[in-house]
Structure 1
Amino acid sequence: MNNRLIARRMLRVKPSPTAVISDQVRELEQQGKNVINLGEGELDFATPDAISYAGIEAIVNHQTKYTAVAGTAELKEAIAQKFAQDNQLCYHKDEIIAGSGAKQLIFNALMATVEDEDEVIIPAPYWVSYPDMVRLADGEPVIVPCSEQSGWKLTSEQLQSALTDKTRWLILNSPNNPTGAIYSASELKALAEVLRDYPNVLVMSDDIYEPLRYRGIGYQSFAQAAPELADRTLTVNGVSKSHAMTGWRLGYAAGPAWLISLMQILQSQSTSNPSTISQAAAVCALTQNEQFLDGWRDKLAKRQDKVLQTIASIDGLSADAPDGAFYVFANCQGLIGKKTADGKILNDDVDVAAWILSQAHVALLQGSAFGMPGYLRIAYAVDDALLESACERLSNACQQLA
C-alpha cells in the first residue's frame, strides 16, 4: 500500500471494534462454528408493527423523494413534541435536525466545530467511536478514566482538572454504553456548575439509551438538568435503541440554531436528507403509544439478572447491576494471569475476550475498546434461549482455566 495515497487523517483511526468482532463472528460461522454474539449493541426485538406499517405506507404513497436536508416538517414536529413531553425541553424547527443515525449527527457536530489542537473531554468507559470521530475532525480526545467505585461517572473535580483553554466539547452518554450508568440530576448540575466558567465549551448529551432504564431509575437530560447551559448543549437521540430500529438509520438532535445550521450544511454536502421512508416510520415511533417498552424492559431486566447470576458464579468475574442500556460491564481482572488448557497465559482483557470466543464461541467485547482495560462488555439483548446457552458456555469455559 502506498501511504502517499492515503489521507493523514485515516492513519489516526482504526476500524470500529464492534465491526471487527462482527467480522470475526462471521468468519467462524463460515467455518461451521455455532457462535453466539454478545458483542453487538442491537436489540433482538422486532420493530413494532405500527411503525413498520408506517414505513410501508410511505412507500405505497410514493413518499420516496428528497426531503429537506434536516428532515420533514412532520418529523421535526414529532421530535419537538418528544423533547417537550419527555424532557421538558422546548426547541423550534431551526434547532432540530434528523440524520442517518445518531452516529452521523455526532460526527457532523464534531466536524463542524472542532479544529486542529481543539480538545474534547470523553469520560471513560466510552462508546468506541467517540475518540476516533474527534481524531477525524483533527481534534484531540482527552480521556478521563472514571472508576467502578464512583459508578463509572465523571465527577466535577475530574472535569475541572481536565478543562483547558483548548477544550471545545464535553461528551456525556447517559445511560452509558458500555456500563449502563445514569447521571442523576444533581450530578449533572454539579458538572454544569464547573462549566459556567468556560463559556466556549459545548456539551454533547448522547441520550440514545434514554428509555431503557430499570428498577424505576429516573432520568434527566443535561439540558433539562442545567437549562442555563441549554444554549451550548447538543442533545442527541434516535429511534435505534428505543424502538428496535437500528437498520432504519434515523437519529435526531436538538441544540442552538447556529450549530444545527452548520450541521445541516455539512449534511447537505454529504448524505443530504435521511431516508424518507425511515422519517415516516420515525414520526409514528415518536407519536404512538409506547406501552411495548414496558414489556421490553421486563424482558431485558430478566436477561440482565441471568447474566449477573452467571458472572457471580464464575471465579474471576464480577459486576454490579447496571441502571440502564442492555450491557453488563464485567470486571475480568481475576481471569488475567490464568492459564488455558493448552498452557497459554491470558495477559489482558483482549486475551480473555479472544479466548472466550475461540473456546466458548461466545463473542464479547474487551474493555480496552471502551478505554477501560480489565473489563468485558456483555450485551444481553439476544433471544432468551441463546443467552441461556451463552451463559452456560461462558461458565463451562472459565472452569477450565487454571
Structure 2
Amino acid sequence: MVARTGLYAVLAANAAVVAFFFTQAGFASNALIVLGRLTGLYGALLMAFQLVLVARLPWLDRRIGMDRLTSWHRWTGFGILFTLLGHAVFISFGYAASSDLDPVSQLVDLAETVEGVLRAVVALAVIIVVGAVSGRYARRRLAYETWHFIHLYTYVAVVLAFTHQVAVGTTFASSSVATAYWYGVWGLALTSVFVGRLVLPLWRNWRHQLRVTAVVPESDNVVSVYMSGRDLDRMPAQAGQFFLWRFLTRDRWWQANPFSLSAAPDGRTLRLTAKAAGSGSAALRHVKVGTRVFAEGPYGAFTALHRTRPEAVLIAGGVGVTPIRALLEEIQGHAVVIYRVATDRDAVLYDELRDLALAKGCELHLVTGPPVPDRLAPGELARMVPDIADRDVFLCGPPPMMNAVLGSLRELNVPKPQIHFERFSLAG
C-alpha cells in the first residue's frame, strides 16, 4: 500500500511541476494551441511514467506486484493514446484557425515544415496501432509472441516523441531549470528500463549460470524442471514468485514463459512445475539435462513479505498449486491449505503438500468435483476455516475460480489487506 501510494504521489507531484513550468512559459493566444501543448506535455509525462512501470524494477515489483503494475501499464497506455490524440487534434485545429488551411492540411504542412513534427506523427501512428492490438478483442486473438513483438515498437514511438519534444517544445526550453527537470525525468525513466530489462537480467544470468539438472513428469500433462547453478544462495528469490524462463535450445531460445517456483528456493536448486497449456509449456517435457537456462526475475509480490496475521489460509486451484506449495514450505505459523481440483487425478503435487502439511502441523483439504455447485462458497469456506477472517489468505488458481473465491471472502468479511493474490501477467 505504501509503495502504491508513493507511486501515485510521485506522478501527481510531477503533474503539478509540469503545470507550473507550463504556466511560467506563458500562453499562446489561441486556446486550442494552449490545450494542444498541455495535452502533449501530459502525454509525454505519462510516457515516462509508463517506462518506469514496464522496467520490472525489483523494488516496485516486490511491493506492488506484476499484475497490478500490468493493470496500471494498460490504463496508462490508453491515457497516452488519448492525450497524444488530443494533442494532435488541438494543435491542428489551433493552427488552422489562424491560417487558410483545413486541419488535415495544416497537420501535413506542419509535418513538412517544422522540425520534429513528422517524427511525432509517426510516433502517434505507432501508438494507435499498439493501442488497437491491446484492446481485449484483438488481444484474445493474437499469440503472445505476436502481441509482444508489436508492443516493442512502443520504444520506437518513445524515442520519436522525445526527440519531437526536444526539437519544438517551448515549455521546457523556457528556462535552464525546466530543461534540467525534463531531461532528469526522462533520464530516470530510460535508465530504469535499461537497468531493469537489460543490465539486471544479464548480470544475474552471468552470475548464476543456470542449467537443467532433471526433468520429472508429474502426470500425463504436468512436468517439473529442476535447475542448479552458481551462488543460488544469493539469488533474491522467494516462495510464491515467478520467473520468465528461456530454455536455450535451438528451437526455443527465443520463447520466454512465466512459471512460478513450485518449491521454496533452498540456495542449491530451483524448480518449476508446469501444465501443458501451449507449445512452450508442452515442450518442457523434452528439455535435455544440461540445457542452459536464461531466467528473468524473480517477479511478483505473492510472497510472505506482505503477511499481516500469524496464521494463514492457502487456497489453490489446479496448477495454481505451484506457488502455494512453495509458500507452504516457507510460511511460519499454523496454516490451512485448500486444494480445489476437478478429480483426484488432477491434484498435482498432492503428495508433497500432504507431507509438508503433516511435518508442519497444518491442515490440508482436497476439494474435488465439478465447478457447479461452487464448493468454495462462503458457507463451505467458513466450515473448513471458521476463523478465516482472522487469517491471511493466499489465493492462486484459474481466473473464474479466483473470482469466485474473492467474492466468497468479501461475503465472509475478510479484510482486503489480508487477501493476497496475483494474476500472473506481464507489464510490457
Specify if TM > 0.5. Answer: no
Q: Which is richer in helix?
A: 2
Bigger-Rg structure (1/2): 2
Q: TM-score, normalised by structure 2?
A: 0.24
